[in-house]
Amino acid sequence: MARNFILWVLVTALLGSLSVSGQQSRGFIGGLVRDSEGHPLSGASVLIDSLSAGVATGNNGRYMLRGLKNGVYKVRFSFTGYETVTETVTLTGIASVDVILGEATVIADEVIVRGSRAGSRTPMAHTTIEGSELRKSDMTRDMPYLLALTPSVVETSDAGNGVGYTSLRIRGTDANRINITVDGIPLNDSESQQVFWVDLPDLASSTGSIQIQRGAGTSTNGAGAFGASVNISTLTPPDDPGAVVDLAAGSFNTFRTTAKVWSGKVDDRFNMMIRASKISSNGYIDHSASDIKSVMVSGDWITPVDRIRFNILSGNERTGISWWGVPRELLSVNRKYNPSGEYTDANGITQYYDDETDNYKQTHYHLFYTHRFAPHLHLNTGLHLTDGSGYYEEQKSDRDTEEYGFGTIISGNEIITEMDLVQRKWMSNNFYGAVWSLVQEGHTVDWTAGGGANRYDGDHFGKILWMEYPGNIIPGHEWYRNRGVKDEFNVYGKMNARISNSISGFIDLQFRYIGYRLSGPDDDLRDLSQDHYYRFFNPKTGLFWSNGRGNDAFLSVSVAHREPTRSNFTDAAGDNSVTPRPEQLTDYEGGYSFRTSALSLNLNLYLMRYHDQLIPTGKISNTGYPVMTNVPESYRTGAEISGSYRPSPLAAFKINMTWSRNKIKNFRNYYFDYNTTDWSEEYVWSDLGSVDIAYSPRFSGSAEVEVNILERMALRLNGKYVGKQYFDNTMSSDRSIRSYFVSNMAAEYDIKTGNPEEISFKILVNNLFNTLYESNAYGGMWSEDGNEKTWAYFFPQAGINFMLGATVTF
């Protein structure tokens, strides 16, 4: 499998080189970027769009674009808070171009996102992707799949085809440890700390850019970043009026319709955009069909010193339940098997309950106000409200009536203790609050002060829709209800100061407060009432070096804390001895990057040391529930390499690879041993020493080549390899996910028609070589008479499948 990936890298590199003319690069463009007062602008972007290559200016404002062939180039100079300047440069060996940037007359998008993102000179490992790049491969699949070719990302899909419930890990870090924001507003569910992408389908159509910060990252709002942060900036309406329609269809009866229309600037002040999307798919896995819809309305009002923006983003999903996985013993028999909704009728025939579905609607309301006090001092504020409500419905067979608190049910002359029933488990919640940041950009010092205050108020409750023997129970009976209220407040300050012509220093200090209160019974009727309060101090500091010629390096150390999730608390309810403690991360990072006009290489080394990391150990509470356990010492360390090579505007080659070691020290595994003579059980443990952390491949990587075969036709090939992963912490091969290599192909052809303005045709072939693989699994162990046994469920992914699409731009 690893050999396949290496071969793929060589093939794509060869394809990427076919368009090279053979000329040797021999020239450079250099110069100085200053403001209107003559001060050098450090960290300004100098970019040649045709080559997708560029550098950032050094602390002295100087830059150098090296390795250029003779020719004519359009060089774009930009810096936050200044007007962008584009110069046409004719290069014959060496060219010197000095540029003066004037102050921007309106507040740009970069000013708004700056408070929550890493800048060009922030000593953190980060990757920024433009929305236009995302949409090249966006046909129907959710965001985790659109980010799949970035370093250290592993994506997975419950339904097997990237539609419906999807998730991602970064550096092996669970999805509930990844902080995700939209325009600086927290997106993670406050209780689970997860992001459910299915609730916001087709978000990429409204995305302006995404920045992924690996490691602890910079201070941000919302859930603690305990391995990565994903900062999404929504798309600003274009200045000219227009519209676009996206249509796509493909395997598994998958269809997508997206329409977007925008007004263009009215009186140079107001702009508005509306987007509506509908995606449906039967899914690869049986009974995993999805019907998901979303709408986004965005408006922007701008003056030279003020900007008001609002977003309304709503998603509505109905999906088949496919989160149970496929038992290992059925993988070779029926990879698409789904046990959800399965029951046996009165005639002994296997049936499936039609309404075994997950249903949820979520609407986000965002209102932003930005004010410019001085040319380089801005205040950004945001108010937000998220309203969510939904349920999942299940048919249950032979359930004990005591589980629902029914007491004695009499049917005729029979006392009923078990019955079939249909239940709905509901969630209804509101999340609201405010965020703010004050950003000052100076010639020697930049600083940001910011923070946020948010409240989550959520109810969990269950209702019985139908009972085989209802007795005097009325349909719609509510058998449990509990409430969670979570308050979160944070304040932070960041500063980046020029120490010399090539070195900058960075410091970032955050204080975070969390108060979480649970009350009421859970679905098993245990009382969940409990209160938890946390105060975290998260300092970060580092050094950044740049010579303005494409050579950059950084060193940093960061501390992050994270509170337990709702499930961590509910599983431990009733047993104070296993109440989870908060986790702490100390993250050491170092990186080096090298850029020329054609070549970009990045190396990042990291050591993430955890204290009290919560992991499954097999431990059981005294109420009989498996609980996550704090382990004293664990760590992740590794090397990430990424790069791109664009020998000409006709071809580009990209690659990333991650090698890592992810270890828990002195791991103790708990399990049950059964005596098969009388099936008595004994709760035992074994010390396994240093073991791999679950879901953490030692190697992963991807490679992609893009070739512009014709003037308006582009072909992209990519391949991704993910090494073997264990899905528990025992390092048993019986409880592991096999390594896999998957490749995809995409082609796009554009036609300039005039009216409509452009039509683009796309074809996407996923899993080109029909690889049979599983991207996720879960399970555990027990023993019988001392002999180890395994239970395991896997999530198979679709074989070769395709999508066809057309985009019409007006």
Q: Single out the residue in 627, 662, 686 at which a domain terminates.
A: 627
What tokens were used for 505?
A: 């220093």
144 occurs within a structural domain: no
Residue 460 confidence (pLDDT) above 90: yes
If one counts the domains in the chain, the total is 3
- Mean per-residue pLDDT over the chain, rounded: 90
pLDDT tens by residue, 581-611: 999 999 999 999 998 878 889 999 999 999 9
Q: Single out the residue in 51, 77, 104 at which a domain terminates.
A: 104
Between β-strands 94-96 and 27-35, what pairing exists: parallel, antiparallel or unpaired?
parallel
SS3 116: helix
| Residues in the chain, overall count | 810
pLDDT, position 510: 96
Residues 6 or more apart whose Cβ sits within 8 Å of residue 114: 80, 437, 439, 448
Statement to judge: residues 661 and 775 lie in one domain: yes
Closest by Cα among 807, 678, 783, 794 to 736: 794
643 occurs within a structural domain: no
SS3 569: helix
Statement to judge: residues 591 and 685 lie in one domain: no
User: What's CA 705's distance to the chain center, in Å?
Assistant: 24
Statement to judge: residues 559 and 698 lie in one domain: no
Statement to judge: residues 611 and 556 lie in one domain: yes
Statement to judge: residues 621 and 679 lie in one domain: no
What tokens were used for 439?
A: 């950003």
% of the chain beyond a pLDDT of 90: 66
82 occurs within a structural domain: yes
| Other C-beta atoms lying within 10 Å of the C-beta of residue 361 | 15
Give the bridge partners for 750, in sequence order. 760
pLDDT, position 53: 73
pLDDT tens by residue, 91-113: 888 888 899 988 776 776 666 66
Q: Which of 108-112, 303-307, 612-616 has the lowest mean pLDDT?
A: 108-112
Statement to judge: residues 8 and 43 lie in one domain: yes
The letter for the amino acid at 671 is: Y
768 occurs within a structural domain: yes
pLDDT tens by residue, 754-792: 777 889 999 999 999 999 999 999 999 999 999 999 999
| Cα–Cα distance measured from residue 299 to residue 607, given in angstroms and rounded to the nearest whole number | 43
242 occurs within a structural domain: no
Q: What's 735's DSSP letter?
A: G
User: What's CA 127's distance to the chain center, in Å?
Assistant: 13
Q: Single out the residue in 57, 81, 104 at which a domain terminates.
A: 104
Domain extent, residue 35, equals: 1-104
pLDDT tens by residue, 318-349: 999 999 999 999 999 999 999 999 998 888 89
Please give the model's pTM, rounded to 2 decimal places. 0.91
Statement to judge: residues 735 and 608 lie in one domain: no
| Cα–Cα distance measured from residue 51 to residue 75, given in angstroms and rounded to the nearest whole number | 10
pLDDT, position 598: 80
Statement to judge: residues 801 and 682 lie in one domain: yes
Residues 6 or more apart whose Cβ sits within 8 Å of residue 228: 170, 171, 173, 177, 178, 179, 212, 213, 214, 215, 217
741 occurs within a structural domain: yes
800 occurs within a structural domain: yes
Q: What is the 3 state secondary structure string of 448-484?
A: EEEEEEEEEEEEEEEEEEEECCCCCCCCCEEEEEEEE
| Cα–Cα distance measured from residue 28 to residue 462, given in angstroms and rounded to the nearest whole number | 68
Distances (CA, A) of 327 to 41, 296, 352, 795: 59, 39, 18, 9
CATH number at residue 100: 2.60.40.1120
Band of pLDDT at residue 10, cut at 50, 70 and 90:
low
Statement to judge: residues 730 and 774 lie in one domain: yes
Statement to judge: residues 659 and 570 lie in one domain: no
435 occurs within a structural domain: no
Statement to judge: residues 809 and 693 lie in one domain: yes
Q: Report the helix count and the strand count for the chain, using DSSP H and E.
A: 5, 47
Statement to judge: residues 724 and 619 lie in one domain: no
pLDDT, position 20: 46
Q: Is the Cβ–Cβ distance between 625 and 602 less than 8 Å? A: no
